[in-house]
Amino acid sequence: MHRTLLIALFAASVLRASSAVEPMRSGCYSDDAQIATVSAADSIQVQTALAGVGPETCYKVVLNRPGETATGYVLGDSLPAVAAFVKRREQESKEAAEAQARMALTAPNGEKGPAKALDPNVPSHFDDFSWRDWQGKAGSLSELGGRVTLVTFWPPNSLKSRDTLNSVMPLYNQLHNQGLAAVGISMSPNPKQMYEVLDDSNFKWPQVPDRGGLADRYHVDPRVGETFVLDASHNVVAAGPMGPDLEKAVRQLLAKPTP
């Protein structure tokens, strides 16, 4: 009797999960037009993860079912295909980090310089891009003119965003005169979402809303953000959370003689 009840409850939960539907919208805002509904039983391909305007991550998906094909956006990871996409990306990054750590331990001649990124989600180069910052001032990556540049993506809906930016400040203040430049990119196109984090702040480098989909282009996890260390040619030398490894990469680049 007890076993039969458990089986019935499990079957009911599976039925509810399979019948649950999520709206597919034309954008990542909750008031964007709904263009379809998606259920767990539907065939969808998850293309990218983007910053949502609320606590949930926004995912660009392609829906394929008989007589209907649509591309749009869903919020959150409740759909099995989205959850699998998130798990796959996390596993790829974990495996790449472990492989890179093994390479560092076996590097010839005791070399401990910045290693080439193995994570398939990490880009090797940043193209130039322009912006208007959260206060309307124009700028671009090339105009920063740094021998080394920190590009910090931060989620405006995260309580840790201010801590992320604060972790950049000591290094920037110390090394800016030696050629360190920086730009912070809020992973939302809406500058109003930046005010809570930046209001009354004293960050001396540009803070930019992501109006051009940069986080998506460079495969940044919109839930946690990421910092990239670029050399003078905007090649990616290191990437990850701001900490000792990235600081070491910055100092090593600045210590090299200027060509």
Collapse the DSSP code of 194 into the 3-class scheme (helix H, G, I; strand E, B; otherwise coil) and give the result: helix
In a domain, 101, yes or no: no
Average model confidence (pLDDT) across the chain? 80
In a domain, 16, yes or no: no
| Percent of the chain at pLDDT exceeding 70 | 78
Looking at the fold, whether 129 and 64 belong to one and the same domain comes out as no
| Tally of structural domains, the chain | 2
Looking at the fold, whether 147 and 212 belong to one and the same domain comes out as yes
In a domain, 133, yes or no: yes
pLDDT at residue 38 in the model: 93
Mean pLDDT of 245-250: 92
In a domain, 109, yes or no: no
- What DSSP string runs through 158-175? -TTHHHHHHHHHHHHHHH
In a domain, 207, yes or no: yes
pLDDT tens digits, 67-124: 889 998 888 888 999 888 888 877 776 665 555 555 544 544 444 444 455 555 667 8
In a domain, 68, yes or no: yes
Q: What is the CATH number of the domain that holds 184?
A: 3.40.30.10
Looking at the fold, whether 148 and 40 belong to one and the same domain comes out as no
Looking at the fold, whether 249 and 125 belong to one and the same domain comes out as yes
Which residues, at least 6 apart from 226, have a Cβ–Cβ distance to it below 8 Å? 152, 153, 220, 239, 240, 241
| Residue-range definition of the domain harbouring residue 191 | 121-255
CA 32 to chain centre: 22
In a domain, 40, yes or no: yes
Task: Tell me the one-letter amino acid at 87.
Answer: K
Confirm if 23 and 34 have CB atoms less than 8 A apart: yes
Looking at the fold, whether 128 and 236 belong to one and the same domain comes out as yes
Looking at the fold, whether 129 and 251 belong to one and the same domain comes out as yes
DSSP H or E stretch at residue 25: strand 21-25
pLDDT tens digits, 41-66: 999 998 877 654 556 777 889 999 88
Looking at the fold, whether 146 and 242 belong to one and the same domain comes out as yes
Looking at the fold, whether 130 and 249 belong to one and the same domain comes out as yes
Looking at the fold, whether 46 and 156 belong to one and the same domain comes out as no
Looking at the fold, whether 127 and 243 belong to one and the same domain comes out as yes
What does the longest C-alpha to C-alpha distance in the chain come to? Answer: 80
In a domain, 228, yes or no: yes
Looking at the fold, whether 131 and 25 belong to one and the same domain comes out as no
Answer with the residue of higher pLDDT: 185 or 122. 185
